[in-house]
Amino acid sequence: MSEGSAGAQDRGADLTGLTMRYAEHLAALRYADIPADVIHKAKTIIRDGVGNQIAASAISEPASRMIELVRGWGGAPQATITGYGLKVPAPMAVLCNAMLGHGVELDDAHGTGLIKGGSVLVSLALASAELAGCSGEDVIAGIVGGYEIAIRIAKAINPGHRQRGYHTTGTVSLIGGAAMATKLLGGDAEQIACAIGLATMQSAGIQAFLDDSCMAKPFSPGKGAMNGMMAALMARSGFTGPRKALESREGFLNAFTSAVRGADLVDGLGSHYAIMEVGFKPHAACRYAHGPLDLAQAMYWQDEVRLDQVEGVTVHMSELAIRQASKLPCPNLNVAMGSTQFGVSLAFALGGNGLREYWAGFKMPEVHAAAASRVQLVAEPGFGLGGRQAMLEVRLKDGRTLRARSEEPRGEPTNPLSDEEMDRKFLGMAGMAIDDDRAEALSRCLMALQAEPKASIIPGMTVTEDGKPALRAA
């Protein structure tokens, strides 16, 4: 196929020069041109991403194992590992921080794009600020522009990309992240286009972890962030990359999916802000599990249903939701967070699905037993391939049956969490590893990030007192 004819694209969508169009758009984007509501959303995303990293620094085994490897490798002290304060080469720092960001299943998510950009883009933005001395305004603008590219690509290639087994958070976030990092490092449109090309050449991430319970899931965005930083640093050094890498015959769109919705790539570029489509997670679980968890928690609190009263639970979900969020057994905390069966059992046991509930519930044999024997997932054809609707049917030992339905999980832009809920979420996450006063000070700083002449102060504010993160008492 020739340039501009990537995949089975929508008729009428001209993708000629798409890579350079994205690069020019990002290069020209300025903080002063961004609407106030978009700025607020970007700051909330940055704060949410930082909170995820701090929380994971206290409890994520996969991330801690990677951090110890990186510590042993050493290297130039360029960027900070969240919570630990360890300074390492920037690609290594973002590898660790993106693994932290994805390590507690609370990172932001885009519905149809099937992408969680915060773990990768927030890590890259803050490391770039350390390297280049960027202002808070610079970082905010970079996040807005990086999300624009990542979300547009993710929307355009899914669900076909996911159906091939790819993990969009790993394969696509690095493209927007590399472009953003290049801008923050002082690159022009030509260098941003080169970085996009170099990032696409490194795009990787399959979801084999869904078929074998292991630690590998957060490695996908971790490696994506590392590759994105490599692409940005290479481009800024003068290393040229393919500047038609998205749209060309041998490019990303042809290689990674069989169908491309061209309109998602180009319509409204410069006037519509894709970052506004991002949702936030209230529960420390795979996003596809959130609908059932909302319903189970409501039954716990409103109907006073407790786990020991439950005979059995049937959860109706979409086909892709079951593929994505059906994990048994649960040998580690990350797997438990990705299991709808475990999450529903936990909700009936403790009434919540926050980090502290998962931390406590993982040690409860009765929750594991209920997940394995009393919770059944059933594909609901009416929900489509990847719908996020959910139905819960709970059979109680006293003979009653309770039923409830959710059309979409809490936290989506059309069913949003309030600013106050997002405040509490951040303080709860940060409070896993740093004291309340420091968490509140960091929250205020991040939500006024535009006032910071040097955003490089942020990573240092995440570091625990002794550089050895550990779970604090509630």
Rounded mean pLDDT, 246-254:
97
pLDDT of amino acid 372: 97
The residue whose two tokens read 């009765």 is 366
Q: Which string of DSSP letters, residue by residue, matches 158-224?
A: TTHHHHTTB-HHHHTHHHHHHHHHHHHTT--HHHHHHHHHHHHHT---B-GGGGS-SS-TTHHHHHH
Cβ proximity of 115 and 154 under 8 Å:
yes
pLDDT-based confidence at residue 12 (cuts at 50, 70, 90): low
pLDDT classification of 9: cutoffs 50, 70, 90: low
pLDDT at 31 over 80: yes
Report the pLDDT averaged over residues 188-214: 97
Domains in the chain with CATH codes? 18-277 (1.10.4100.10), 287-406 (3.30.1330.120)
In whole angstroms, give the CA distance from residue 222 to residue 96: 6
Residues 6 or more apart whose Cβ sits within 8 Å of residue 208: 165, 216
Overall size of the chain counted in residues? 474
Q: What are phi and psi of 379, to 5 degrees?
A: -70, 130
Closest C-alpha to 285, from 355, 239, 338: 338
Q: What is the pLDDT of residues 172-181, one digit of tens each?
A: 999 999 999 9
**What pTM, to 2 d.p., does this model score?**
0.96
Render pLDDT for 367-410 as a digit per residue (tens, 0 to 9): 999 999 999 999 999 999 999 999 999 999 999 999 999 999 99
* Predicted confidence (pLDDT) per residue in 307-341, tens digit: 999 999 999 999 999 999 999 999 999 999 999 99
> What local confidence, expressed as pLDDT, does residue 2 receive?
42
CA pair distance 96, 223, nearest whole angstrom: 9
Q: How far is CA 95 from CA 74, 230, 257, in A?
A: 14, 11, 26
Instruction: Indicate whether 11 pLDDT > 60.
Output: no
Task: Assess whether pLDDT exceeds 80 at residue 8.
Answer: no
